[in-house]
């Protein structure tokens, strides 16, 4: 794991209500047990779904610039906070969608930014209170997959923001959440070309998040979701689980950033293919031709031609 230098003390954690703090510290203790000194979280998603806000909520301070109506620009930003020897790095990325397309430039910027870093957790953020999934979602997922490989989805979680929300049509909240997350997960599977067995045992967890200042609080002043759970500890806990879920973290190296070199691809197969061609294709062909020639008398020029042809081959 790459070490990140400029990590500041995680002061924001003190902003949290004591109950939350306790839970967080408890979780962080787990890292100590495992002797993990840092965790890198990559946050990705469409624009305007609340990525930066989520980062801010979790960090407990206004670390990432948020503006309602303007997009942040294309540069990813790294927020890293350390608390008693443990460093949490969160990489906030710009929205990947620009004008109906996946913004390849943004993706490349992110990749470059992540060079030589290791991603322990990918958070794919989308809104809970959107009803439909569309091609854009699939494109975003595909773009992420293309950038980091589909393995990254094994270290990922689906974050649904705007979780404080009452579903329409009198739907049950839990039902809504599950349907919404199912829909998104389906998109992710499709976009990442994950097969069922790929995800076996490690299905992508869903984290609900509510970043608004209007988020309900429980009696101990924790921000809670409509289902009553306090989401920040839950969020951190889920991240922790993912980081320890046994799958290898994704190390972003040069190769990954630059993508596969087409010149390298399948190099080893070349002799095989040549042999295959020689043995299975050329031989029978030559034989067939020869027999054909033997059987039939031909014009002189034809014989010359066929001779040439066979030699070429």
The residue ranges that bind another protein (CB under 8 A) are: 46-48, 53, 62, 66-71, 95, 97-101, 127, 129-132, 134-136, 139, 162, 166-171, 176, 179-180, 183, 211-214
Pairing of the two strands 77-83 and 86-92: antiparallel
**Least distance between another protein and beta carbon 216 (Å):** 12
Q: Is 216 a known ligand-binding residue?
A: no
Residue placing its CB nearer to another protein in the complex, 2 or 130: 130
**Least distance between another protein and beta carbon 110 (Å):** 15
Residue placing its CB nearer to another protein in the complex, 136 or 199: 136
Measured CA angle at 203 (ends 199, 206), to 5 deg: 145
Residue placing its CB nearer to another protein in the complex, 99 or 228: 99
Q: Is 71 a known ligand-binding residue?
A: yes
Residue placing its CB nearer to another protein in the complex, 138 or 251: 138
Token pair 């954690």 is found at 13
Q: Is 297 a known ligand-binding residue?
A: no
For residue 151, what are the contacts with CB-CB under 8 A and spacing of at least 6? 247, 248, 250
**Least distance between another protein and beta carbon 170 (Å):** 6
Q: Of 31, 244, 45, 278, which Cα lies nearest the Cα of 140?
A: 45
Residue placing its CB nearer to another protein in the complex, 42 or 128: 128
Q: Is 49 a known ligand-binding residue?
A: yes
Q: Is 210 a known ligand-binding residue?
A: yes
**Least distance between another protein and beta carbon 52 (Å):** 11
**Least distance between another protein and beta carbon 189 (Å):** 16
Q: Of 242, 154, 155, 239, which Cα lies nearest the Cα of 194?
A: 154
- Per-residue b/e over 32-47, b at no fewer than 16 CB within 10 Å? eeeebebbbbbbbbbe
Residue placing its CB nearer to another protein in the complex, 53 or 80: 53
CA–CA separation, 162 and 151 (whole Å) = 28
Residue placing its CB nearer to another protein in the complex, 167 or 233: 167
Q: Is 50 a known ligand-binding residue?
A: yes
**Least distance between another protein and beta carbon 48 (Å):** 4
- Per-residue b/e over 271-287, b at no fewer than 16 CB within 10 Å? eeeeeeeeeeeeeeeee
Pairing of the two strands 86-92 and 38-45: parallel
Q: Is 60 a known ligand-binding residue?
A: no
**Least distance between another protein and beta carbon 166 (Å):** 5
Nearest-10 crossing angle of helices 283-295, 300-312 = 170
Burial of 247 (0-12, 13-18, 19+ CB in 10 A): middle
Q: Is 93 a known ligand-binding residue?
A: no
Q: Is 48 a known ligand-binding residue?
A: yes
For residue 7, what are the contacts with CB-CB under 8 A and spacing of at least 6? 38, 80, 81, 82, 87, 89
Tokens coding 47: 């624009």
Pairing of the two strands 77-83 and 101-102: unpaired
Residues 17 and 220: beta-carbon distance below 8 Å: yes
Annotated binding site: 48-53, 67-72, 162, 210-211
Annotated binding site for Mg(2+): 52, 70
Annotated binding site for GTP: 48-53, 67-72, 162, 210-211
């Amino acid at each position: 794991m790459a070490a990140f230098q400029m990590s500041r003390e995680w002061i924001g954690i003190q902003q949290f209500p004591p109950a939350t703090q306790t839970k967080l510290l408890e979780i962080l203790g787990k890292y100590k047990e495992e002797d993990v000194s840092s965790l890198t979280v990559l946050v990705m998603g469409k624009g305007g779904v609340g990525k930066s806000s989520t980062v801010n909520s979790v960090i407990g301070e206004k670390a990432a610039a948020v503006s309602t109506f303007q997009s942040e620009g294309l540069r990813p930003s790294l927020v890293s906070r350390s608390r008693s020897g443990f460093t949490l790095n969160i990489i906030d990325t710009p929205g990947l969608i620009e004008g109906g397309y996946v913004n390849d430039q943004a993706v490349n910027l992110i990749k470059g930014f992540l060079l030589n870093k290791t991603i322990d957790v990918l958070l794919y953020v989308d809104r809970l209170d959107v009803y439909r999934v569309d091609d854009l979602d699939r494109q975003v997922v595909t773009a992420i997959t293309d950038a980091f490989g589909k393995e990254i989805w094994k270290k990922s979680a689906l974050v649904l923001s705007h979780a404080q929300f009452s579903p329409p049509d009198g739907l049950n909240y839990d039902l809504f959440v599950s349907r919404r997350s199912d829909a998104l997960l389906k998109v992710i599977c499709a976009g990442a070309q994950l097969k069922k067995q790929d995800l076996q045992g490690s299905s992508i967890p869903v984290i609900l998040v509510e970043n608004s200042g209007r988020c309900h609080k429980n009696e101990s002043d924790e921000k809670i979701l409509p289902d009553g759970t306090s989401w920040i500890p839950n969020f951190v806990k889920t991240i922790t689980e993912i980081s320890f879920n046994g799958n290898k973290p994704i190390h972003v190296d040069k190769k990954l950033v630059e993508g596969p070199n087409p010149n390298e691809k399948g190099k080893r197969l070349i002799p095989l293919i040549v042999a295959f061609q020689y043995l299975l294709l050329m031989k029978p062909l030559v034989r067939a031709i020869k027999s054909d020639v033997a059987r039939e008398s031909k014009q002189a020029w034809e014989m010359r031609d066929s001779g040439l042809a066979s030699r070429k081959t």
